[in-house]
Amino acid sequence: MMATDVQIGARRVISRNPATGETLCEFECASAAEVGAAVERARAAQPAWASVGVRARVEILRRFQRLLHQKKDDIARTITRENGKPQVEALLTEVLVVLDAARFLIENAYAVLKPEPVPHGNLVMKTKSAHLVREPYGVIGIISPWNYPFSTPATEGLAALVAGNAVVIKPSEFTPLAALELASLLHEAGVPADVFQVVVGDGSAGAVLVEAPIDKIVFTGSVRTGKRVAEAAAKKLLPVLLELGGKDPMLVLEDADLDVVTSGALWGAFMNAGQTCLSVERCYVARSLCERFLTVVVEKTRKLRVGNGLDPETDIGPLIHEQQLRVVEAHVADAIARGARLLTGGRRLLELGPNFYAPTVLADVTHEMRIMREETFGPVLPVMPFATDDEAVRLANDSEFGLAASVWTGDRRRGEALARRIQAGTVMVNDVISCFGISEAPHGGVKSSGLGRAHGRLGLEEMVRVKHLDSDLLPRVRKVWWFGYGAEFARQMEGFVDLLFSTSWVRRIGGGLKSAKAYIRKGRL
């Protein structure tokens, strides 16, 4: 329950390596008073931060980018120890993504945030000059997830900072160290300590942050929690940006390259042990290709190396914790009980540790199974055949989620035509997941996958309020539409409307003549 009287502080947050169970660090949960104090400090510091200007903030981002590059291996190692993913994945899907997000903001923030002229197409408004002015919200609260504990808060936080906001982040209680590393780098680069803060705590600390006097909340996580955040925010009309996960479909057409598409499915389903909102969680394959696809993908799956992410030979690391592993087990068991074929995997790898699960391929799945309807968030690839392109689109759209999707084909035009019919925030043709690394592209979904967009120009626009500033160029002239109406003025304005919008040129000319006297009429107040 979201409430201002949530009692926190007695519990502790323990960061553990999910591969080994090693305790990395322990923290006391931030109390409600401490979360509130962090927001107060952020609000006090934000005006000075906004006043330094975009160019100065961009230079700080440039220093941050250099520092992150210098410390890239250490940061990647911290992410792997805390999250479990292979260190090369931490480097590419977290550190590299943030370096490029900084690059995008360095190159584009000034152009996006500078005042934008507003044209006046209405003839009567031609004596005005206007701009759209983009101003920071003030204090942005960010609640970030454990599956991308560095890149998610960083990409959102950098956009908020360069726009002139102060930021308070509540990271997942499973991965606080990555967020603290982010804060350390930003502070070293020149961001004032009170402008970017991390409060460590569990879900209760996040609830307090939502209720605190912030100006916008950015949440990444489950649909259930996202709805609670949205409900609490709605009570005080707090703007929200929500990224709530997906059940992303992969459509494999009969002309797809079998070797390429099976490798793409493998990476799309099993990268980060399937704990990615953009993971392939539903795979639809043209019936004529399906059995060959399954044969090859199972053969490749059995070659994947599961183990500790710090081992450079590892392809797939552990799941984050026991609870997530149980979800995966439940979905696989439900599918098998309802008639799915288990082709490989489907079991814990206890010889490696308690949180390891074998990469799993299922065939003969249907939409009555949980594995095709609920977010699994684990290393499972369920495969279902389709007969026609229309059926493939129908199956792809038969979901409460709409984050991303992919279409695989040798015919780009056909792929793009199908992509336009799929209900998702992003559809890739012949690739998967890498859209998250395109800094210019927006990230976000439709339906239960969330509200708003992160990344790129649209993500930067999420971090500002837009003000319309309009100045009249004839300040000493009374406006023709002001008081002093009367019957004659009404006839003149009817003529003016005809002048602007009649489809008859005769009526337009007549309307112009009729309305001309309005500009010299007597009796205006």
Query: DSSP secondary structure string, 332-386?
Result: HHHHHHTT-EEEE--SB-TTT-TT-B--EEEES--TTSGGGTS---SSEEEEEEE
Catalytic option among 89, 156, 211, 277: 277
Instruction: Identify the structural domains of the chain with CATH numbers, from first to last.
Output: 33-244+456-467 (3.40.605.10), 248-439 (3.40.309.10), 478-520 (no CATH)
Q: Count other C-beta atoms under 10 Å from residue 312's C-beta.
A: 8
Is 283 assigned a catalytic role?
A: no
Q: What is the pTM of this model?
A: 0.95
**Residue of 34, 89, 94, 243 with catalytic role:** 243
Whether the CA torsion 269, 275, 279, 282 is positive or negative: it is: positive
- What confidence score (pLDDT) does residue 7 get? 38
Query: How far apart are alpha carbons 108 and 151 in whole angstroms?
Result: 19
**Burial call 267-305: b when 16+ CB within 10 Å, e when fewer:** ebbbbbbbbbbbbbbbbbbbeebbeebbebbbebbeebe
Mean pLDDT by 10 residues, the chain (525 residues): 37 94 96 97 98 98 98 98 98 98 98 97 92 98 98 98 98 97 98 98 96 98 96 97 97 98 98 98 98 98 98 98 97 98 98 97 98 98 98 98 98 98 98 97 97 97 98 93 93 95 95 90 82
DSSP, collapsed to helix, strand or coil, labels residue 316 as: strand
Most distant CA atoms of the chain, gap in Å:
94
pLDDT of residue 408: 98
* Known active-site residue 277: yes
Amino acid at 254: E
Helix runs in 214-321, H state only: 223-235, 258-270, 287-301
Helices in 130-219 by DSSP H: which ranges? 151-162, 176-189, 203-211
Of 135, 121, 143, 149, which Cα lies nearest the Cα of 50?
135
